[in-house]
Structure 1
Amino acid sequence: MITLAHAVFSSFVVVGSLGAGAIFGSGGGAPLTFVVSGLVILASGVVVFGRGTRTTTGTRAESGTRAESETGVTTNTMRRRPALLLPFVIVGLVGALGFAAENAHQSWGAIYLVDELKASPALAAIAPATFAACAAITRFVVGFSARVPAVALLVGGAATAVVGTLIVAAAENVGVALVGLALAAVGTSVLFPTLLSQAVRGIDDDIRGSTTSIIATTAYIGFLLGPVFVGLLSSAVGLRGSMIGVTVLVAAFGMLSPLVLRYRALRESDRPQPVSSVSSRCAP
């Protein structure tokens, strides 16, 4: 479900990228692009807020009482035990590396085509659209396919993203750059969804939401800082050189992600046993 949700996100990035390119191509410019984007965001916010208030009002008290009575471990317990949150924060920090690489390509792909390969702004919109389309397709395939070993997805995805990013860095024309972006998208698209789904696997229902939020919120630091990282690095070594920096982020993710998942699993074994589980063992 996590991978499929990310696939839907990437699908709409394609719509947004091509829509922005169409506005620029028709002479609308940046102001009109932001006006349209703002209206879409406003409409989405209204829908999400409306659905959220309807679904949570009637179930909040019931779910809280049930979770406490069945497991004896509540979200409030997690909040009072910072040590229990540490493994999830660490997972989120590693996830930030994957998100940083993903959004670096997503945010700088069009600029790379314009500045390094002299593409027109309308043509450059193909870069983020290509990246998002390949990411969406990969996530749909992985989400609907039989289970693939998590380590294979994490390490294989990181390796694919490294190869794709190096191709982008060496590209001398738009076609080659798009091939590199496609490979980078295939590789990075599976990184964070796989890491997140594995990190929350086996977590009790009453705290799964809070732990998911901790990991995702921490990881989104990378989503915010990835484009900044490329911008700062490009001021020193240029855009092509900054792509090498992106490969370092992805390689670090590939090496660290299996380790932090193992660390989280070991720390999970130290958590207090749920009351229901202890009772079942003591029952005659």
Structure 2
Amino acid sequence: MLRTVVGFGAFGLFWGAWGAILPAVRTESGVDDGELGIALLMIGLGALVSMRFTGYLIDRYGGIVLPIVVGLFGLSGVLPALANSAVTLSAALFLLGATSGATDVAINATGSHTEAESGRPLMNLAHGLFSIAVVVASLSTAGLRAAGVGALPVLGGVGVLIVALAAFVLAPGSKRSGFANSEPTAKRRLEPVLLVFGGLCALAYLVENAWQSWSAVHLDTSLHAAPGLASSAPAVFAAAAATGRIAGNALLTRLKPVHLLVSGALLAALGSLGAATAGNVWLALIGIAAAGLGTSVCAPTIIGMAGAWAGPAQRAGAISTVTTIAYLGFLLGPAAVGAASSVWSLPAALGGVAVLAVVVAVLAPVAGRIGERPKDV
């Protein structure tokens, strides 16, 4: 459990600091908004390149992969602060994305393995701790930025901390290495059932990132909220997500994963619809919080179900497949909302997000039936 918690915490610390320090990275690298947008796409491209291969490495070599990829992630996180052009920033973000994708697979595989070995729920708690780490790092970085601290000290400090955690907490040796079964696995193929888990998780991530990315804009443009109040929307969503994941982890001691998944998706649908159609800012914030509570438990629960289905010998490979497919939903969510809003309106587009949450709830029993039939290995 320690390795899972520390891994998710380290992951959240970086991405919380990154969101707050990005304006400084933009200024210090000398890029404009268009160049920054192109460079940021490299994060997703790098992640998609590395994720499935990381699953293979974990299934083949076991727990030693976790500290290696987390350490590389910490080192790569410093590179954007050293960039001085659009080209060097794009290259740095591609490496960051590749190590981030590898870390994402490794910590989720470790969490799923620990969950299966202990028989106790863990994935929602781990994802909740990630959300808490994001909030803490974001606020801390904002304070450092207010004091005039630049990108290199912030990202360098976070990088040193992550590398230290990888070396001294996540390092293999003793029972903490995990993945008792690290023998070579059979020839790999794309299992159709993983497409079900991956597609469902992609929809969940699409709902989640749509609200994380567009909630402030919705309050600002649709409801004409004051700038400070509008800017609080992502924090409200993140805090609700952290709360939902920790509570969801506790609920899994009494509920089947599929029941939590259906309940979370329906709450996300109600919250999304309420926020999209709200007539004032406060009702919208309540809806955003409900959407955060509901959608927060969906992706961790689906990933845990996929890992339980795959079994120990191919768990990491299965999770890498599911998270790679799911990551497409995470990347496409904000863009899909933007495209829909240009055709109709932003409230209508966010109302469509509620429909997708209903789809997750309707399809969840399919994943539940699959998850109850462990893979023969």
Counterparts in 2 of 1:241 and 1:48: CA distance versus 1, 3 Å: same
Pair 1:123 & 2:229 matched: yes
Question: What is the identity, as a one-letter code, of the residue corresponding to 2:299?
Answer: F
One-letter amino acid of the structure 2 residue matched with residue 120 of structure 1: A
Task: Tell me by how many angstroms 1:171 deviates.
Answer: 1.2
Structure 1 vs Structure 2 CA RMSD: 3.2
Give the deviation of 1:11 after TM superposition: 1.8
Please tell me the residue identity of whatever aligns with 1:208.
R
Residue 220 in structure 1 maps to residue 327 in structure 2: yes
**1:189 paired residue number:** 296
Alignment-derived partner of residue 123 in structure 2: 2
1:158/1:254 contact within 8 Å kept: yes
Write out aligned runs for 1:135-214 (5 A).
135-145=241-251, 146-201=253-308, 203-214=310-321
Distance (Å, rounded) in 2 between the aligned partners of 1:56 and 1:168: 44
For the pair shown, the structure with the greater C-alpha radius of gyration is 1
CA contact (8 A) 1:92 1:219 kept: yes
Cα 1:16–1:130 change in 2 (3 A) is farther
CA contact (8 A) 2:257 2:305 kept: yes
- 1:36-82 per-residue CA deviation (whole Å, 9 max, x = no partner) reads 5x8655544444445446655668xx989x736xxxxx4542xx231
Instruction: Tell me, in whole angstroms, the C-alpha distance in 1 between the residues paired with 2:304 and 2:197.
Output: 11
Letter in 2 for 1:126: S
TM-score by length of 1: 0.76
Q: How many residues align?
A: 252
The separation in 2 between residues aligned to 1:51 and 1:15, in whole angstroms, is 17
What amino acid does structure 2 have at the position aligned with 1:110? Answer: A
What residue identity is the alignment partner of 2:125? L
Deviation at 1:3, TM superposition (A): 0.7
Instruction: Return the structure number with greater helix share.
Output: 1
Q: 2:364 aligns with which of 240, 244, 257?
A: 257
- 1:96 is aligned, of 184, 188, 202, to 202
Structure 1: segments with no counterpart, 5+ residues: 69-73, 273-284
Distance 1:231 1:202 in 2: 36
1:277 is aligned to none
How does 1:41-80 map onto structure 2 within 5 Å? 43-52=157-166, 55=170, 67=181, 74=183, 76-77=185-186, 80=187
CA–CA distance in 1 between the matches of 2:264 and 2:178? Answer: 37
1:108 maps to amino acid: W
**1:93-136 Cα shifts (integer Å, max 9, x gaps):** 21010010011001101111111111233222210111111111
Deviations 1:188-225 (A, max 9, x none): 01111111112212643343233222222221211111
Unaligned runs of 5+ in 2: 1-121
Which of 316, 335, 340 is 1:233 aligned to? 340
